[in-house]
Amino acid sequence: MEIKIKRIKIIELESKKFGEYFFSEGVNIINGGNGSGKSSLIKSIMYCLGYEIKNWSTNFKVNGMIFELSITINGKEYSLKRFREYFILNNKIMKLSEYREKILKCLNIKLKLSLSKANSEVIPYPTDILMYNYLDQDSSWDGKIFYNNHKNYNMYAKKELEKILSYYLGISNDFINELILKESDLKRKSDSLKQNIEKLEYSQKILNYNEENKISLDINDFEFEIKELEKNLKKIYKEENIVKYKIFDTTKKIQDIDLDIRELEVIYSDLKEKNKKTEKFVCKTCNSKINQEMFLKKYDIEKNMYSIFSIYELQIKEKEELTKKLKKYTQENENIKKELFKIEGILKTKKENISLKEVIESKSKIEGTKKINEFLNNFKKENSSIQIEINELSKKIREEKNKTKSLTAEYKNKFNILLDEINLLFEKIDLGQMKDKFLDFSKMPDTGAAKNLYYMSIYFVYWKLLDESSIVKVPFVLDTIIKDEMDISNKKNISKLIEENVFTLKNQIIFGYTEKANIILKNKYNNIIDLTSKERVCDREITKREEKFLEFIQKKIKELSEEKTK
């Protein structure tokens, strides 16, 4: 699967202005100095895709903007819009919980991650699946490589996020674990069949049937009782399925509310912080702590805080009601299980009686033997089929384990070779200390200006591996890989690394660049978005087209709100 970004449009609601930018399938360079909006434009692309941005420019009011991306996934075109917590994918409006399911389905990503504080698994968020292809100028140059740009990595168990990279590179154990689980299920089924076969063979031996001993017997009474029990069982199984669905549906609703609550808490916390900041302003003339403008701003913030808190309270109440229902459904399920256990026991006894006691005592061995032979042959045939499937699975598991082991060794070797190649470019760093640390995202060496060279080199090594081998191709969105703080004595080789290695990657590249970094790009590139002459990213007056776009967003949000109230 491959994503391509074709276009982004950003509409600024307060100023009624917009910016629209187009991207080629190859290298796209966004050129601009500090304060030009270069980083905000790059962050906007990731934000619209669902990435949780850690730091925004204070001048870029993301909550007052609407974002739209035109993308393709395996050549199929998609329209993706985002306004605050709302996503609109091909005219279908949704929140993050539903959007992440849709985007994973579009990319055919089948993966679950274990949480750190709960014995459960969840499907990845957009931030999780995009973290290896996004470089942020503010948060990607410190701490653990890749991890420091992830806002909530602590929610997952240790090394869980490495599973995504392993999944992309085809060395994840998830597929092998699925095969092992399937094999275990088949073995349990085979053991159960073997037990039944042993019991039937024992019954066959007791009956000791021959044609001379054939005596007819009417066993309709027993058969009627068994049929009634089986009918009752079917009814209870149906009730059990209904209750299980209620448990599943209620649990899902609680999980969705938990996500909404966390989002509300984040929004409320942001508003609270903004409210604190308004209290610090002092009028230079009268020395009063707040003027009319700041009063109105503070009033708006507090009004929004009140609204968020009201919604938060409603969500908490709804969760409490759902939790009560879940407890009730769980108890119902336990009662049904007890009833099933009781009836299944009676049914088992009846069947044993009909196959042994009545047939033996009546000396009507022929009917019992025929039935036993029929079941015995079916069980043996089924078990034989299962054994073939188990053998095939065992072979497949061995092959996959060997393939994963071999592929992992190959990646480790490539990783070390790439480190050696890059180390030849830079004299002041020693990448040898990073050797044999494939998928080890420990903190990078803290070596002053050379530290950024370490980061840039290691990032490139993983990008190269992803570019060559990832089953999911995502654009490399790189915000200012050339840092002002880099040791410019290496500028010639930094330029070489960028142009001869990074820019030759096959994936689409969106690259933030500033000439002030004193690193000159010698080659000419087809698509350069130049922000140096612009005052802001959104610099065009909105037209009727954008006005209709705004109306469409408002309509979709209203539809979603009405749908929730039903």
Q: Per-residue pLDDT for the chain (566 aa), expressed as one digit of tens each?
A: 889 999 999 998 888 888 899 999 888 988 877 777 888 899 999 999 999 998 888 888 888 889 999 999 988 999 999 988 889 999 888 899 999 999 999 998 888 888 888 788 888 999 999 999 999 888 887 778 888 888 888 888 888 888 888 888 888 877 777 788 888 888 888 888 888 878 777 776 766 544 433 333 445 656 666 777 777 777 877 887 887 787 788 888 888 878 877 887 777 777 777 767 666 555 555 555 555 565 566 667 677 777 777 777 887 888 788 888 878 888 887 887 788 777 777 767 666 655 544 444 544 555 666 777 777 788 888 888 888 888 888 888 888 888 888 888 998 999 999 888 888 887 777 888 888 888 888 777 666 667 778 888 888 999 999 999 888 999 999 887 766 555 556 677 787 888 888 888 889 899 887 766 556 666 677 788 888 777 778 888 888 888 888 888 888 777 777 666 65
Q: Where are the domains of the chain?
A: 3-170+425-431+444-565, 178-394
User: What is d(CA 473, CA 491) in angstroms, rounded to the nearest whole number?
Assistant: 30
Q: What pLDDT shows up at residue 366?
A: 57
Q: What pLDDT score was predicted for residue 212? A: 36
Say which residue the tokens 């409603």 belong to: 314
pLDDT recorded at residue 296: 63
Q: Copy the structure tokens of residue 460.
A: 């490139």
Got the DSSP string for 233-299?
HHHHHHHHHHHHHHHHHHHHHHHHHHHHHHHHHHHHHHHHHHHHHHTT---TTT--S--HHHHHHHH
Is there a contact between 230 and 409 (Cβ–Cβ < 8 Å)?
no
What pLDDT is attached to residue 213?
37
How buried is residue 310: exposed, middle or buried, by Cβ count under 10 Å (0-12/13-18/19+)? exposed
Are 115 and 152 within 8 A, CB to CB? no
53's tokens? 């941005």
d(CA 358, CA 226): 14
Q: Which amino acid is at 399?
A: E
Do residues 74 and 1 make contact, with C-beta atoms less than 8 angstroms apart?
yes
CB 78 within 8 A of CB 49: no
CA-to-CA distance for 538 and 541, rounded, in angstroms?
9
Structure tokens at 181: 């689980």
Cα separation, 116 vs 154, whole angstroms: 7
The b/e string for 37-47 (b: 16+ C-beta within 10 A; e otherwise) is bbbbbbbbbbb
Rg, C-alpha atoms of the chain? 32
Owner of token pair 């990008």: 463
Distance CA 476, CA 463 (A): 8
Alpha-carbon distances of 558 from 86, 285, 544, 552, rounded to whole Å:
11, 45, 21, 10
Whole-number Å distance between alpha carbons of 169 and 463? 11
3-170+425-431+444-565: CATH, from 3.40.50, 2.40.128, 3.30.360, 1.10.3470: 3.40.50
Determine the length of the chain: 566
Give the Cα separation of 441 and 436 in Å (integer).
12
Helix (H) or strand (E) holding 189: helix 174-207
What is the sign of the dihedral through the CA atoms of 144, 146, 148 and 152?
negative
